[in-house]
Amino acid sequence: MSEPLLSIENLQVKFSRSEDEVYAVNNVSFAIHENEALGIVGESGSGKSVTLMSSIGLIRENGKITSGKALFQGKDLLKLRPKQLEDIRGRDIGVVFQDPMTSLNPIMRIGDQIMEAMLTHQYASRKEAFNRTIQLLQEIGIPDPHSRFKSYPHEFSGGMRQRIMIAIALACEPQLLIADEPTTALDVTVQMQILALLQDLRRKRGMSVVIVTHDFGLATNFCDKIIVMYGGQIMEAASTDMFIREATHPYSIGLKASIIEVGNKGKEISPIPGAARTLTEAPTGCPFAERCPFKTERCLNEVPELRAFGIDHYIACHHAEEVASYAV
């Protein structure tokens, strides 16, 4: 297999608060290759967004990357100066944020916001940027693009604003697109339209995509590979087909059992008991142990390593073999 487009290695991220520290990301490693779609799934607070955003330099002031690498085409993004990182972010790596209303400039016309990305990175002249903006607006499904070029964000629906965010992210033809909860707060019909648009754009461009989401169904419908995170760690990673057939970590099984399956009216939804807690100390055991029906003393006192559990299947669970036999 070719070298990864982006490789995260042993990433650790902490956030300082007035009373304590939060261990948000703990020794996370994964890679995404060219023309691949990766889904990172987990509850709010699992560390999935922080992992991606910190790797491209978008981390809050009270955050600190304490160790790790983020290799993009061989360059460690964590060692670049701010200006060097800005040159890559927006040009080679596009980002679609989860709330377009707060991400878009409310007093700037949407056409100018799309053009700005190209002009800032010297990707095109002003005339070329204008023509490309009209082309992008057409491509993402904005009707009457010449007229809507002059519109402001508040004049669009939530779904249309998300399309505009996608256009901004794609303006410089990035090799990698990071979509952070791209369908949050959208109704189901619009969600499917946005996913179909992303899938179409990805195929046309041969682009790699990372989708960060709490929606297990969304990830399995769009992505080639799935990573499940909890407590700032990877619990399980597998190809989507493998994941659908043989998800093995108790947390992954819990996520699958807690979603509604279309056409399966008789299936009961089984929520995962308890709630995720904030890690204010370095992990000393499995972060999911308190909510896990398979937990033992070992789970409470020893952090499970992410280990191979079949072809292209990795799991961080001391009792994976027992869980697998139970799930059969």
The answer as to whether 42 is a domain residue is: yes
The answer as to whether 284 is a domain residue is: yes
Q: What's this model's pTM, rounded to 2 decimal places?
A: 0.92
Query: What is the pLDDT at residue 264?
Result: 57
The answer as to whether 165 is a domain residue is: no
Strands across the sheet containing 63-72: 21-32, 6-16, 63-72, 75-76
Q: What digits encode the pLDDT tens for the residues 159-180? A: 899 899 999 999 999 999 999 9
The answer as to whether 309 is a domain residue is: yes
| Tokens at 109, concatenated | 């016309």
The answer as to whether 287 is a domain residue is: yes
Query: What is the pLDDT at residue 284?
Result: 92
Query: What is the pLDDT at residue 229?
Result: 96
Tell me how far apart the alpha carbons of residues 67 and 47 are, in angstroms, rounded to a whole number.
Answer: 15
Q: What digits encode the pLDDT tens for the residues 15-55? A: 999 889 999 999 999 999 999 999 999 988 899 999 999 99
Query: What is the pLDDT at residue 149?
Result: 96
Query: How does DSSP assign 95-142, residue by residue?
Result: EE-S-HHHHS-TTS-HHHHHHHHHHHTT-S-HHHHHHHHHHHHHHTT-
Q: What digits encode the pLDDT tens for the residues 176-211? A: 999 998 887 678 888 888 888 888 989 999 999 999
**Domain housing 267:** 6-88+224-327
Tell me how far apart the alpha carbons of residues 260 and 246 are, in angstroms, rounded to a whole number.
Answer: 18
Examine the pLDDT at 260 and tell me if it is beyond 70.
no
The answer as to whether 257 is a domain residue is: yes
Residues 250, 294 contacting (CB under 8 angstroms): yes
The answer as to whether 217 is a domain residue is: no
The answer as to whether 250 is a domain residue is: yes
Count of domains for the chain: 1
- The count of other CB atoms within 10 Å of the CB of residue 252 is 27
Q: What is the CATH number of the domain that holds 31?
A: 3.40.50.300
Look at residues 183, 196, 92, 186 and name the one whose alpha carbon lies nearest to residue 140.
196
Q: How far apart are the first and last CA of the chain?
A: 32
CA gyration radius, the chain: 21
